[in-house]
Structure 1
Amino acid sequence: MQSCVGVMMRSVLPPLSDLLAFDAAARHGSFTRAARDMNVTQPAISRRVAALEADLGVTLFGRETRPLRLTPAGQTLFDVLRSGLSRLETTVSEIRRMQTGDRLTIAAAPGFLTYWLLPRLPELTAAFPDHELRLMTGDQSHDLPEADIHVRFGDGAWPEREAVRILSEEVFAVCSPLLLPDLGPPGSGRLKRARLLQLSDRLDRRYDWQNWFRTVGAEPPARPNTIIFDDYSLLVSAALAGQGVALCWSGLLDQHLRTGALVRVSDEVVTSERGYFATFPAGTAHESLVAKVVAWLAAQTGG
């Protein structure tokens, strides 16, 4: 009887590879990003999703829009599947942590690690002297490394994750004091004559200069003199060298502002409900090492 039940259960569930492909496509809203996440080709994801749809006899995605839109049946399946996989991921992480002892891994964007966490590293290691700390770069939703704590930029809402605010978003313009006299009289108007240092538009979670100008009520330059970077650390290095004006997120470059290596160009500042959050699996015990480190991170700035 038991063997018959086992056979029936195996026949009811679709292949796990198809379910994982569907989960990745639903999370990323793209077969291409799902393929990158799973380290397979885009056609392989398409075939697995199509096989799952054929198995279930329903359409899971409306493919006429970008990003991909889940159908009602697809949303129902994704909600149940993601809940189960998230619990499994949390359990696997806990088992691995048992094997690695007191090691804790924090993943974040290079700019956050360089300008916010590294200056506080002596205090962090002193607060947790008996634990091995590992730092990794990565905060993009389609390419998150395996870590105990992910520091991510956004609105604080991520499925199956708890989020504790570390920094709120305040964005203003900065430059080297050597460049300031060349920009003309104070005010946002002086920025229209400046060379603007900007992050690549693939990092669309942050403001670019066009949006920043509009938010402060100023018209963007018709033909901006812009240099684009795909790494915030490189952008800051260029600003320190007097190569142009950068957008600064309050809390990240405080050390350079205190020493005078960078100065504010104008009084305009943009704020929002977004910010940097320490995220970790929902249901993590409050007395755990992860929870204690997250509390320490949040206490450094008061969120």
Structure 2
Amino acid sequence: MIGSPSGDALTKLVQSITLLTAVSRRGSFAGAAQDLGLDPSAVSHRIRALEAALGLALFDRTTRRVRPNRAGEILCQAANRSLDEVERALVAARAMKSEKAIRLSVHSSLAMKWLIARLPDAQRAGIDLSLDVREGLAGFDTGDVDAGFRFGPGPYPGLHAIRLSKCHIQPVIGTSYPGAGRLQEAALRDGSVPILADSGAEKFRTGTTWEDYWKLLGLNDGRVKPSQHFDRADLMLQGAIGGLGVALGRSLLIEDDIRHGLLRPVGRTVRVSSAYWLVTTSELAESQGVRLLRDWLKEQIRLTLR
């Protein structure tokens, strides 16, 4: 582009932003030197070096005052705007570091079966938590969310990921199902009870399908295929509570319902490779809000799984 400054000239201009701002504000090299803690001769030397690099005279000098000429006014105004923007950005960055309000992305099943019931406790812990509930993964590039509560094998490239907890899966049946109290694991393989499945586990390959369960138990023969599929794990578990059959539950999604007498375990527990994670950007990872949320989630998970 015609008239574009060289790289060295542009670098020197950027380095001189505070100097230009001080000289234009004070109207003298001496005043600028006092504000910046420099010798007046050093200010004068730097301004002349900048003018030489740009190939422009920026100030009209008299014995009493220094005034920016038209070119100097343009650059001083730009320097003032730049400095104001940097100051606003610094205030925002500091506020971000100490901010306790968190916009958390979470899948619907985890929100419905576990997290929402614990939001009052989050408030008591001083965490202002708002939820972005969706099935897909919310992006961080738009700034819509600050962190994500994820379930999966990980890792999450480009994000700072904190592993919160391992995960187990276990068959469960609603206590309203006829004969639920007498049901044994063998019934899961002989076709005597309906099998409910979560299509999301298959779609997102979390390692929590019935096929994964049988393989982890080493029981690949005689499996009964699911008779009914649900789009989400919470819907599958609600179907089991309603008496439709046996569902394959996972950690955090079934403990509350078991304690409340709505679900009953009917098979062995096995650990899967997927885990629960808190993911965020590297810039927010050490902010006060994310650290509070991390510690709170770990404690709530510990209380749930104990």
* TM-score normalized with structure 2 length: 0.60
How far apart, CA to CA, are the structure 2 residues paired with 1:142 and 1:123? 25
Q: Kindly tell me: are residues 111 and 225 of structure 1, through their superposed partners in 2, closer, same or farther at Cα, counting changes over 3 Å?
A: closer
Q: List alignment gaps of at least 5 residues for structure 2.
A: 8-88
CA drift at 1:185: 5.8
The alignment status of 1:121 with 2:119, answered yes or no, reads yes
How far apart, CA to CA, are the structure 1 residues paired with 2:203 and 2:172? 22
Match of 1:295 in 2: 295
The alignment status of 1:136 with 2:132, answered yes or no, reads yes
Query: Which amino acid is the alignment partner of residue 297 of structure 2?
Result: L
CA drift at 1:183: 9.4
How far apart, CA to CA, are the structure 1 residues paired with 2:240 and 2:136? 24
How far apart, CA to CA, are the structure 1 residues paired with 2:225 and 2:216? 17
The alignment status of 1:218 with 2:219, answered yes or no, reads yes
Counterpart contact for 2:206–2:274, Cα < 8 Å: no
Point out the more displaced range, 187-196 or 207-216.
187-196
CA drift at 1:283: 4.1
How far apart, CA to CA, are the structure 1 residues paired with 2:221 and 2:239? 22
Match of 2:195 in 1: 196
Q: Kindly tell me: are residues 134 and 142 of structure 1, through their superposed partners in 2, closer, same or farther at Cα, counting changes over 3 Å?
A: closer
CA drift at 1:175: 0.4
The structure that has the greater radius of gyration is: 2
How far apart, CA to CA, are the structure 1 residues paired with 2:135 and 2:237? 19
Q: What SS is found at the alignment partner of 1:157?
A: coil
Point out the more displaced range, 157-166 or 213-222.
213-222
How far apart, CA to CA, are the structure 2 residues paired with 1:137 and 1:166? 19
Q: Which of 177, 180, 197 does residue 179 from structure 1 map onto?
A: 177
Residues 244-279 of structure 1: CA deviation (Å, up to 9, x unaligned): 11111122221110122100012x122034211111
How far apart, CA to CA, are the structure 1 residues paired with 2:129 and 2:183? 47
Query: What number of residue pairs does the alignment pair up?
Result: 214
Aligned positions of 1:148-297 closer than 5 A: 148-179=146-177, 181=179, 186-193=184-191, 194-200=193-199, 201-219=202-220, 221=222, 224-266=225-267, 268-284=268-284, 286-297=286-297
Match of 2:107 in 1: 109
Q: What SS is found at the alignment partner of 1:3?
A: coil
CA RMSD of aligned residues (A): 3.3
How far apart, CA to CA, are the structure 2 residues paired with 1:182 and 1:149? 40
Q: What SS is found at the alignment partner of 2:278?
A: strand
Q: What SS is found at the alignment partner of 1:286?
A: coil
* TM-score normalized with structure 1 length: 0.61
Query: Which amino acid is the alignment partner of residue 167 of structure 1?
Result: S
How far apart, CA to CA, are the structure 2 residues paired with 1:279 and 1:230? 24
How far apart, CA to CA, are the structure 1 residues paired with 2:277 and 2:178? 33
Residue identity (%): 22
Counterpart contact for 1:284–1:291, Cα < 8 Å: no
Query: Which amino acid is the alignment partner of residue 214 of structure 2?
Result: F
Residues 132-177 of structure 1: CA deviation (Å, up to 9, x unaligned): 4311113634877831110111234212322223332100000012
Q: List alignment gaps of at least 5 residues for structure 1.
A: 7-90
